[in-house]
């Protein structure tokens, strides 16, 4: 069974070919980061246009790398939300055209669910149930994966997503887009205990997140220091901010595992590439005798392999889409 996956929700055009459940034959990712960097963030109109230019060459490369032809493909899975509407529509239109012309089923995949399924590709023996901490540029959520097609939202962010906070704080620190990896790098030279930034909603049994107060605290700190003409140690700010984020994420993820009696925690989404988050979770899960997995770097950020994998498991329960499929920019984890 060959599933062709398509991802175009933000600034990566990606197509992957997956054999059965977890054998990845190709995963081609064309990133637009260098284009958007000069604007300090993703420009939606440019992203859509670039997806249109990139999608056919990416498709060709994915087929060549997998050593298959279009006639070998059994089904098409596409991310239809959440994301930028114009960007999503490029992938959705391509998927519909391919499914129609090849006369194969079309599968509509929630991009966030895709991020969780990236773990099945990096850890082939992984099976539900487990708890997933989904931390991306647009979302922060704890998800109880009861089975491949049955999951519940345990908690999510009330305002900014973790990745969004990284990107906004990076901008204040004068770092380029995307800010997460830049803060991760800069923080390595800083003292995480230098500044005590606030951590919201840390009460017991609260599995919701809030990062806007933390972001404002960093901005206020910077302004305050500037007004008093004091030298700012940017590495200390980056390290202290990063520690505040990872403390909140790890505390809640471990508490939710214990509350739900789950022995496995997985990380998902772009922020899963953060070295402190990964290190802190590794340490704490070991201490609490929990199993911990996270996707390898290339599968953490946006890619089509995770979309193909999620799509494959949807096909097992005949969860197919029809040609009325549209992009849904604000799709949430519980929508289906």
Tell me which residues touch Zn ion (CB under 5 A). 136, 302
Shortest distance, position 264 Cβ to ligand KG4, whole Å: 21
End-to-end CA distance of the chain: 24
Q: Closest by alpha carbon to 14, among 2, 38, 39, 32?
A: 32
Shortest distance, position 48 Cβ to Zn ion, whole Å: 17
Of 235, 273, 304, 327, the one binding ligand KG4 (CB under 6 A) is: 273
The residue (of 124 and 279) whose beta carbon lies closer to ligand KG4 is 279
Of 92, 271, 305, 321, the one binding ligand KG4 (CB under 6 A) is: 271
Work out whether 91 is an interface residue with ligand KG4 (CB under 6 A). no
Which of Zn ion, ligand KG4, none does residue 181 bind (CB under 5 to 8 Å by kind)?
Answer: ligand KG4
8 A C-beta contact, residue 333 and residue 114: no
- Residue span binding ligand KG4 (CB under 6 A) among the ranges 146-154, 178-186, 225-233, 314-322: 178-186
Where do the H-state alpha helices sit in 38-172? 44-66, 85-102, 111-122, 162-172
Of 136, 264, 280, 314, the one binding ligand KG4 (CB under 6 A) is: 136
The residue (of 81 and 163) whose beta carbon lies closer to ligand KG4 is 163
Cα–Cα distance for residue pair 123/129, rounded to 1 Å: 14
CB burial of residue 220 (10 Å; 0-12, 13-18, 19+):
exposed
Which of Zn ion, ligand KG4, none does residue 184 bind (CB under 5 to 8 Å by kind)?
Answer: ligand KG4
Three-state DSSP at 197 gives coil
Which of Zn ion, ligand KG4, none does residue 295 bind (CB under 5 to 8 Å by kind)?
Answer: none
Cα–Cα distance for residue pair 302/211, rounded to 1 Å: 22
Shortest distance, position 181 Cβ to ligand KG4, whole Å: 4
List of E strands, the chain: 2-7, 12-19, 23-31, 75-81, 106-110, 130-135, 140-147, 150-156, 264-268, 291-293
Shortest distance, position 70 Cβ to ligand KG4, whole Å: 27
Q: Closest by alpha carbon to 276, among 250, 301, 313?
A: 250
Work out whether 5 is an interface residue with ligand KG4 (CB under 6 A). no
List the interface residues with ligand KG4, window 183-212 (CB under 6 A).
Answer: 184
Q: What φ, ψ does residue 293 adopt, rounded to 5°?
A: -135, 150
Work out whether 140 is an interface residue with ligand KG4 (CB under 6 A). no
* Cα 221 versus chain centre, distance: 29
Work out whether 157 is an interface residue with ligand KG4 (CB under 6 A). no
Q: List residues near ligand KG4 by CB under 6 A.
A: 10, 136-138, 163, 166-167, 178-181, 184, 269-271, 273-274, 301-302
């Amino acid at each position: 069974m060959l599933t062709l996956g398509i991802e175009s929700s933000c600034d990566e055009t990606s197509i992957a070919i997956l054999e059965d459940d977890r054998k990845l034959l190709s995963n081609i990712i064309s990133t637009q980061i260098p284009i958007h960097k000069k604007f300090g963030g993703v420009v939606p109109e440019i992203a859509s246009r670039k997806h249109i230019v990139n999608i056919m060459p990416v498709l060709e490369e994915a087929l060549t790398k997998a050593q298959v032809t279009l006639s070998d493909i059994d089904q098409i899975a596409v991310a239809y939300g959440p994301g930028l509407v114009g960007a999503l529509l490029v992938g959705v239109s391509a998927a519909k055209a391919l499914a129609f012309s090849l006369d194969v089923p079309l599968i509509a995949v929630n991009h966030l669910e895709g991020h969780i399924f990236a773990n099945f590709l990096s850890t082939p023996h992984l099976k539900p149930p487990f708890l997933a901490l989904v931390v991306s540029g647009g979302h922060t959520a704890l998800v109880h994966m009861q089975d491949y097609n049955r999951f519940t939202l345990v908690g999510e962010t009330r305002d900014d997503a973790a990745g969004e906070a990284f990107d906004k704080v990076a901008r204040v620190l004068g770092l380029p887009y995307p800010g997460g990896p830049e803060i991760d790098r800069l923080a390595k030279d800083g003292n995480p205990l230098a500044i005590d930034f606030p951590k919201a909603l840390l009460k017991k049994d609260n599995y919701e997140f809030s990062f806007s107060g933390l972001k404002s605290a960093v901005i206020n700190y910077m302004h305050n220091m500037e007004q008093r003409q004091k030298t700012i140690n940017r590495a200390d700010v980056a390290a202290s901010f990063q520690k505040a984020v990872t403390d909140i994420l790890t505390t809640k993820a471990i508490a939710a595992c214990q509350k739900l009696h789950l022995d496995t925690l997985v990380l998902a989404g772009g922020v899963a590439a953060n070295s402190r988050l990964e290190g802190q979770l590794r340490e704490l899960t070991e201490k609490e005798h929990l199993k911990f997995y996270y996707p390898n770097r290339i599968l953490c950020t946006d890619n089509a392999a995770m979309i193909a994998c999620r799509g494959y498991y949807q096909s097992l329960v005949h969860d197919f889409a029809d040609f009325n499929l549209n992009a849904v920019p604000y799709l949430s984890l519980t929508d289906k």
